[in-house]
């Protein structure tokens, strides 16, 4: 049962403009996965790119891969330290995407990867930020 959106960051430097194809390449070549691990990726300009089909298990959060994995580009500063680097366009796009997903899954809640692993990802408290969604 899909009941969570797990938000991730790409852990790329603030302002570094990559897209889902770059992440797909990392996941396939570096990790040996079949595809990109996320269901959606949100670029710096707010463009939402589709990854794995929702309903097909992702590869984004141990024990939660049946849920929806969303990744925003960024998440670290120039020294590779965790930082909420979301652009205004990304914030708007994430909120819109979450609302769209909520139409199909009304009881779904948003969490950060850090709620399930000892990581800073997504570099802010997503659970608190989106709890009223």
Q: List, in order of start, the domains of the chain with CATH numbers.
A: 4-129 (3.40.80.10)
User: Catalytic pick from 38, 40, 72, 111?
Assistant: 38
Is 109 a residue of the active site?
no
Q: What is the pLDDT of residues 97-123, one digit of tens each?
A: 999 999 999 999 999 999 999 999 999
Q: Considering all CA atoms of the chain, what is the largest pairwise distance in Å, rounded to the nearest integer?
A: 39
pLDDT at position 93: 98
Is 91 a residue of the active site?
no
pLDDT at position 19: 96
b/e 90-112 (16+ beta carbons within 10 angstroms → b)? beebbeebbeebeeebeebebbb
83 within 8 A of 76, measured Cβ to Cβ? yes
pLDDT at position 123: 98
Is 105 a residue of the active site?
no
* CA distances (Å), origin 86, targets 16, 26, 52, 117: 12, 21, 22, 21
pLDDT at position 18: 97
Kindly report the average pLDDT of the chain as a whole number: 96
Q: d(Cα 52, Cα 126) in Å, to the nearest integer? A: 22
User: Catalytic pick from 9, 61, 71, 121?
Assistant: 121
89 within 8 A of 27, measured Cβ to Cβ? no
pLDDT at position 105: 97
Tell me the pTM. 0.96
Task: Compute the residue count for the chain.
Answer: 133
Q: d(Cα 73, Cα 26) in Å, to the nearest integer? A: 14
pLDDT at position 117: 96
Residue ranges, the chain, pLDDT below 70: none
Is 27 a residue of the active site?
no
């Amino acid at each position: 049962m899909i009941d969570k959106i797990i938000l991730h960051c790409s852990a790329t430097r603030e302002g570094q403009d990559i897209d889902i194809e770059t992440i797909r390449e990392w996941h396939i070549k570096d990790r040996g996965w079949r595809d990109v691990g996320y269901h959606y990726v949100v670029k710096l300009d707010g463009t939402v790119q589709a990854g794995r089909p929702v309903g097909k298990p992702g590869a984004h959060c141990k024990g939660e891969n049946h849920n929806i994995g969303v990744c925003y580009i960024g998440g670290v500063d120039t020294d590779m330290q965790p930082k909420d680097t979301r652009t205004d366009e990304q914030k708007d796009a994430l909120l819109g995407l979450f609302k769209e997903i909520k139409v199909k899954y009304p009881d779904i809640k948003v969490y950060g990867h850090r709620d399930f692993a000892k990581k800073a990802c997504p570099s802010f408290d997503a659970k608190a930020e989106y709890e009223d969604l």
